[in-house]
Amino acid sequence: MKSFRWLNFDVVGLQLDYYLPARDVKSCRPSPKLHNLVLNLSVFLFQSLRHPNLVNLIEVFRRKRRLHLVFEFCERTVLDEVEAHPHGAPEEVAQMIAWQTLVGLRYIHSRHCIHRDIKPENLLLTSTGLLKLCDFGFARSVSSPDGDLTEYVATRWYRAPELLCAMPKYGPAVDVWAVGR
């Protein structure tokens, strides 16, 4: 959502993360603790990762039991670019998108983090052509190779084989696989 920053009227992207908690499987009642944990992890990752190819988190605030995340504004997504070129994007555009995506992934992987939801909708483009990764809702820190991770992540079309086979141990390669899809 496009919005304006009150103090200096900068154009920003506003994500309203409504209080829609995950469901407790046993009782089918909302589990606000789990939902808040996921939101807090996402915000923590955004605040700790700074790179030109990652969307910049400007501000976080709560209002009426809703968490509001204010990001820098990006004009379009890679999905918009794909739809604008139904017979394939020009080679230089495709190379630029792939290169900048991999540079952003190299950075988050070097910080022991995996995105786990790389898809065209989560790759933003600024008016100057700079690509920015966004939506770190499924991202996780992977400081230990022995830790198990959930396999239910990522949009089905972009899932790596280890995710499709429900393997509990995987790493940054799942993000690289999604770029190649």
Instruction: Please identify every residue annotated as catalytic.
Output: 117
- Rounded CA gap, 46 and 111, in Å? 12
Instruction: Map residue 22 onto helix, strand or coil.
Output: strand
Q: For residue 123, list its beta bridge partners.
A: 133
Q: Which two structure tokens, joined as six digits, stand for 176?
A: 């690289």
HSE-up of 9 (CA within 13 Å, CB side)? 0
Contact yes or no for 172/114 (Cβ under 8 A): yes
